[in-house]
Amino acid sequence: MQTLSLVLLLIMEKMLAHTNGCIYQIRSALDRAVHPPPPDPERFESTAVIALFLCHAKSTDLLFIQKADVAGYPWRNQMAFPGGHVDKIDAGPMETALRELQEELCILPENVEVIGSLGHFQTINNKDIQAFAGIWNQQETIWFDPAEISRVFQIPVAHLLALHRKKGYLGQQPHIMDLTYPFEDVVIWGVTAKILHHLLDILIQPEKPA
C-alpha cells in the first residue's frame, strides 16, 4: 500500500506540474469521489469556502488565509480557506464562496474556474461548510484587509501530499485533534484540515477502470 501510494503521489505531482494536467487531475478526482453529504439544515448554519488552486509552470499551490490576530475573534490566527456565511441575497453556497473570495482577497469570480463541490463539513459550533474547489488564473493582485486577515499563503500541493502520506492519513479518518498539516510557522488544523484531508485523499486515489 505504501509503495502504491508513493507511485501515485509521484504520478500526480508530475501531472499537477502542468496546467492542463492540473485541471484534469482535479476535475477527475472530484468527479469520481464520494463527498460528505449535507446535514440536517435545521441544525446547522450554512457557510461556504473555496479551495483555490494556483497552477504554475512547474508546481501547483493551494491558497490559504490566516485570520487576523484579534482578541475575542473565534477564528483568531487560524488557517482557513476563503469563505463565509451564506447570505439571503446569495443564489447558493457557490455564489457565497465566490463573493467572499472577492471581498476577502479581491479575486474576481470571472477569473476563477469552479471545478465542483467537495461536500459538507461541520464545525463544533453548528456551522455547515460546503467546500468547493476552483482554479484561479491569477489575473489580479491579491489585496486584503489586515484587520480581518493577517497573511495569505500559497502552499505547494506536493508539500501537503507528502505530509498526508508521511502521517499515514491516506484512506484513514484521523481524530480531529490528530489531524494537522504544518507549513513554515503555521499549522492547518480543525475543520480546514478536515476539508484538506478529503481533498488530498481523493486527489491521490487511483482512477477506477472504465
Mean pLDDT across the stretch 102-118? 96
Which is more confidently placed, 137 or 72? 137
Mean pLDDT across the stretch 26-34? 89
Identify the weakest region by mean pLDDT among 52-61, 104-113, 153-162: 52-61
The pLDDT value given to residue 16: 52
Identify the weakest region by mean pLDDT among 23-37, 98-112, 195-209: 195-209
**CATH C-level class of 2-204:** alpha beta
Query: What is the Cβ-side half-sphere exposure of residue 44, based on CA atoms within 13 angstroms?
Result: 17
Identify the weakest region by mean pLDDT among 10-14, 33-37, 78-82, 106-110: 10-14
Beta strands in 7-107 (DSSP E): 45-55, 60-67, 79-80, 83-85
Mean pLDDT across the stretch 130-152? 95
Which is more confidently placed, 95 or 29? 95
pLDDT tens profile 40-49: 988 999 999 9
Residue 5 in grid coordinates: 501510494
The helix (H) or strand (E) run that includes residue 152 is strand 149-156
